[in-house]
Amino acid sequence: MALHKYFLNADFLRDVFMRQIKDSGPPVDASFAKSLNTMTAMSLWYATVFVVIEGWQELKLADAKVDACLTDENHVNHLRLFRNQMFHYQEAYDNPKLIKFLGENDSDAETVTRWIRTTHAALGEAIEAAIQANLDGQRRPDTRVENTNQ
Using CA atoms, how far apart are residues 72 and 51, in angstroms rounded to an integer? 16
**Sequence-distant (≥ 6) Cβ neighbours of residue 4 within 8 angstroms:** 127, 128, 131
User: Can you tell me whether residue 139 is helix, strand or coil?
Assistant: coil
* Chain centroid, CA 114 distance in Å: 11
pLDDT band at 148 (very low <50, low <70, confident <90, very high): very low
| Higher per-residue pLDDT: 142 or 118 | 118
- Looking at residue 27, the DSSP 8-state letter turns out to be G
CA distance 149 to 108: 38
Q: Calculate the average pLDDT of the chain.
A: 85
* Euclidean distance between CA atoms 108 and 129, whole angstroms: 31
Q: How many helices (H) and strands (E) does the chain have?
A: 6, 2
pLDDT digits (tens, 9 = 90+) for 42-78: 999 999 999 999 999 999 999 999 999 999 999 999 9
Q: Tally the residues of the chain.
A: 150
Q: According to the model, what pLDDT value does residue 65 have?
A: 97
The angle subtended at Cα 66 by Cα 145 and Cα 50, nearest 5°, is: 95
